[in-house]
């Protein structure tokens, strides 16, 4: 056959194939926009026809702003991707994230599963596997176990107060992003591995937080893409020696657990890794190295930055609302007898509790929707019926500002809303969505986080006057699962009243 005819044959095949692909693409777009079961729900047009719209916003880190604007513009239910909806609805929240839910996590979470590890507590989608993993780590999170570690927590806080006191005396502004990061990494290190980790946050030799931030960025974006972690973990990346943050963070956790396994720890205060190692299943079997690493990996990854964000949120709202700060100072001063305020003392401070709740409500550490798959039988939201198999999620940021629950001032920082009748506060509390609900996949670190938060805010207010250096631009923030904040500069001064109280 002459070469020309082969070419022409190839050419016409080529055109036909192109035309077919183009036609199929058009059909798919038309179907998704007009005939798909989710076509009835409002949302950006591009989001309805392709997942690329959401991937783009996840990649540029502006999802906090996007998800709020979407719900303000379109209402309770918004279409985020061809098969995904975001919902603001208290009843749906309970159905998806409450006790007894049968909604499993969406496949986005597989982007958080380290390839070489045991099933990860956050990423595992199978409820039976998850229940076993959760049981293994549960003893370390009991309130009694956590409270036993309060003095280690206080040591970390005292180190911070010393550093901040020095900056206050020298009159230099402090980057509260870095200062609080070192605190929460110190606490997390102390509680999980028995040693502070704050000094290695951002340090050149071991930028642990930098690795975690890259992990969050990579997993958040790749979780939405076909192939997920294959993009960063494949033969080519391995030959080229391209570093994969998930593997780096995993290897670091594995080495830390190995140190515990190799040491004689009979005479030390047990930390979380000790609790994980001590676990025995119903047949008396101890966990494998990889299973213990999974616990340590998840706790270190989830337990430091989330709390740091919440602490900064409280400082931000306090310094932007001087009357609230003043009222809190007066309350805190009543229990200030010179030493550091304990967790038990914080529980007598009703205004402190209101301030912490309100700042968590306004600025959640994990603001994006947490995707779940609608189970068999579908999900009813208001007058809509959402078919099974649809990916749906509730964003804490949008849910916590639902005017139907929190009133017309839902977007205003107002701690007073928590100070009404106890039943009213309880029902507001039940409508908050900060810790992933109260079901099987909710946050096991909630109590620990609240202890850290109450102690930090009470003691900061007890010891310092503080204000934002630049009120117009308090800090920078990008959202990659967590909100990654940077550059929050504050001016500090030691509190006069304390000096007087001590002199008396
Ligand atoms: C203010 C602080 C915190 C916030 C706002 C927070 C929020 C959350 C949320 C929303 C989830 C559910 C995630 C999802 O379904 O995708 C979660 C899960 C989780 N959190 Fe937290 N968290 C905080 C502190 C902590 C701490 C201190 C620890 C550990 C020491 C921790 C460990 C975990 C773990 C291991 C999971 C996975 C649970 C599972 O899937 O069974 N968190 N957290």
Contact 306, 366 (CB under 8 A): yes
Q: Is 58 in the pocket of ligand 1 (CB under 6 A)?
A: no
Higher model confidence: residue 203 or residue 436?
436
Question: Which residue has tokens 């192939």?
Answer: 227
Q: Is the pTM here over 0.80, yes or no?
A: yes
Q: Which atom of ligand 1 is nearest to the CA of 298?
A: 35
Contact 352, 451 (CB under 8 A): no
Q: Which atom of ligand 1 is nearest to the CA of 449?
A: 27
| Cα 45 to ligand 1 centroid, rounded to whole Å | 33
CA triplet 384, 388, 391: central angle to 5 degrees?
Answer: 85
List the end-to-end C-alpha distance of the chain, in Å, as a whole number: 106
Which one-letter DSSP state was computed for residue 440? T
| Cα 449 to ligand 1 centroid, rounded to whole Å | 9
Task: Give the separation between CA 411 and CA 398, rounded to whole angstroms.
Answer: 10
Q: Is 95 in the pocket of ligand 1 (CB under 6 A)?
A: no
Q: Is 365 in the pocket of ligand 1 (CB under 6 A)?
A: yes
User: What residues pair up with 380 in beta bridges, in sequence order?
Assistant: 385
Residue 497, pLDDT above cutoff 70? no
Q: What's the mean pLDDT in 430-451?
A: 95
Six token digits for residue 432: 């908050």
Q: pLDDT band at 253, cuts 50/70/90? A: very high
Mean pLDDT of the chain: 92
pLDDT at 6: 45
pLDDT at 209: 86
Q: Is 302 in the pocket of ligand 1 (CB under 6 A)?
A: yes
| Cα 491 to ligand 1 centroid, rounded to whole Å | 31
Q: Is 222 in the pocket of ligand 1 (CB under 6 A)?
A: no
Task: Give the separation between CA 273 and CA 279, rounded to whole angstroms.
Answer: 10
Q: Which atom of ligand 1 is nearest to the CA of 309?
A: 1
Q: Is 436 in the pocket of ligand 1 (CB under 6 A)?
A: yes
| Cα 249 to ligand 1 centroid, rounded to whole Å | 18
Chain centre distance of CA 355 = 20
Q: Is 393 in the pocket of ligand 1 (CB under 6 A)?
A: no
| Cα 444 to ligand 1 centroid, rounded to whole Å | 6
Task: Give the separation between CA 165 and CA 14, rounded to whole angstroms.
Answer: 72
Q: What's the mean pLDDT in 182-211?
A: 83
Binding site as annotated, residues: 443
Task: Give the separation between CA 418 and CA 300, rounded to whole angstroms.
Answer: 32
pLDDT at 203: 63
Chain centre distance of CA 231 = 24
Q: pLDDT band at 207, cuts 50/70/90? A: confident
Comparing CA positions, the residue from 354, 349, 363 lying closest to residue 310 is: 363
Task: Name the residue of 96, 445, 453, 485 to mutate for ligand 1: max ligand atoms within 8 A of Cβ.
Answer: 445
Which one-letter DSSP state was computed for residue 224? T
Q: Is 307 in the pocket of ligand 1 (CB under 6 A)?
A: yes
| Cα 299 to ligand 1 centroid, rounded to whole Å | 8
pLDDT at 149: 86
Residue 420, pLDDT above cutoff 70? yes
CATH code given to domain 102-368+411-494: 1.10.630.10
Contact 124, 133 (CB under 8 A): yes
User: What residues pair up with 87 in beta bridges, in sequence order?
Assistant: 77, 394
pLDDT at 4: 52
The helices-and-strands tally (H runs, E runs) of the chain is 23, 12
Q: Is 79 in the pocket of ligand 1 (CB under 6 A)?
A: no
Q: 6-10, 122-126, 237-241, 251-255: lowest mean pLDDT where?
A: 6-10
Residue 504, pLDDT above cutoff 50? no
Q: Is 443 in the pocket of ligand 1 (CB under 6 A)?
A: yes
Spans of all domains in the chain: 102-368+411-494
Residue 410, pLDDT above cutoff 90? yes
**Three-class DSSP labels, 63-126:** HHHHHHHHHHHHCCEEEEECCEEEECCHHHHHHHHCCCCCCEECHHHHHHCCCCCCCCCCCCCC
Q: Is 113 in the pocket of ligand 1 (CB under 6 A)?
A: no
Task: Give the separation between CA 194 and CA 188, rounded to whole angstroms.
Answer: 9
Task: Name the residue of 127, 302, 442, 479 to mutate for ligand 1: max ligand atoms within 8 A of Cβ.
Answer: 302
């Amino acid at each position: 056959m002459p070469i020309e005819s082969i070419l022409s044959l190839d050419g016409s095949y080529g055109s036909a194939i192109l035309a077919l692909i183009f036609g199929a693409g058009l059909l798919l777009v038309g179907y998704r926009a007009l005939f798909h079961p989710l076509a009835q729900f409002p949302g950006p047009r591009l989001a309805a026809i392709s997942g690329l719209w959401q991937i783009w916003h996840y990649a540029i880190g502006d999802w906090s702003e996007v998800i709020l604007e979407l719900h303000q513009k379109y209402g309770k239910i918004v279409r985020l991707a061809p098969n995904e909806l975001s919902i603001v609805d208290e009843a749906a929240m309970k159905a998806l994230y409450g006790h007894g839910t049968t909604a499993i996590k969406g496949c986005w979470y597989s982007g958080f599963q380290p390839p070489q590890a045991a099933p990860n507590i956050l990423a595992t989608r199978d409820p039976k596997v998850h229940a076993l993993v959760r049981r293994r780590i549960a003893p370390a999170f009991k309130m009694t176990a956590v409270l036993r570690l309060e003095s280690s927590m206080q040591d970390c806080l005292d180190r911070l107060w010393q550093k901040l006191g020095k900056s206050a005396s020298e009159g230099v502004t402090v980057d509260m992003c870095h200062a609080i990061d070192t605190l929460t990494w110190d606490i997390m290190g102390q509680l999980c591995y028995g040693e502070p980790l704050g000094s290695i946050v951002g340090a050149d030799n071991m930028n642990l937080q930098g690795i975690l931030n890259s992990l969050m960025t990579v997993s958040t974006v790749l979780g939405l893409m076909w192939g997920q972690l294959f993009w960063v973990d494949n033969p080519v990346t391995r030959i080229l020696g391209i570093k994969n943050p998930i593997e780096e963070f995993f290897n670091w956790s594995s080495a830390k657990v190995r140190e515990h396994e190799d040491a004689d720890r009979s005479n030390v205060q047990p930390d979380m890794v000790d609790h994980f190692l001590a676990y025995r299943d119903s047949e008396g079997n101890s966990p494998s190295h990889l299973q213990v690493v999974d616990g340590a990996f998840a706790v270190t990854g989830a337990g430091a930055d989330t709390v740091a964000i919440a602490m900064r949120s409280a400082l931000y709202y306090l310094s932007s609302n001087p009357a609230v700060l003043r009222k809190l100072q007066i309350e805190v001063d009543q229990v200030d007898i010179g030493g550091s305020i304990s967790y038990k003392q914080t529980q007598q401070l009703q205004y402190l509790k209101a301030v912490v709740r309100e700042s968590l409500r306004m600025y959640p550490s994990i603001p994006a929707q947490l995707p779940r798959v609608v189970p068999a039988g579908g999900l009813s939201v208001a007058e809509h019926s959402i078919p099974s198999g649809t990916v749906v999620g509730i964003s804490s940021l949008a849910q916590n500002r639902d005017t139907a629950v929190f009133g017309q001032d839902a977007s205003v920082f107002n701690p007073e809303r928590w100070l009404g009748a106890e039943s009213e506060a309880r029902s507001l509390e039940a409508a908050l969505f900060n810790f992933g609900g109260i079901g099987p996949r909710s946050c096991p670190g909630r109590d620990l986080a609240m202890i850290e938060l109450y102690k930090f805010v009470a003691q900061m207010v007890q010891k310092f006057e503080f204000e934002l250096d630049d009120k117009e631009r308090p800090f920078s923030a990008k959202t990659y699962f967590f909100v990654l904040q940077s550059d929050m500069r504050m001016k500090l001064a030691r509190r006069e009243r304390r000096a007087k109280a001590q002199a008396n």
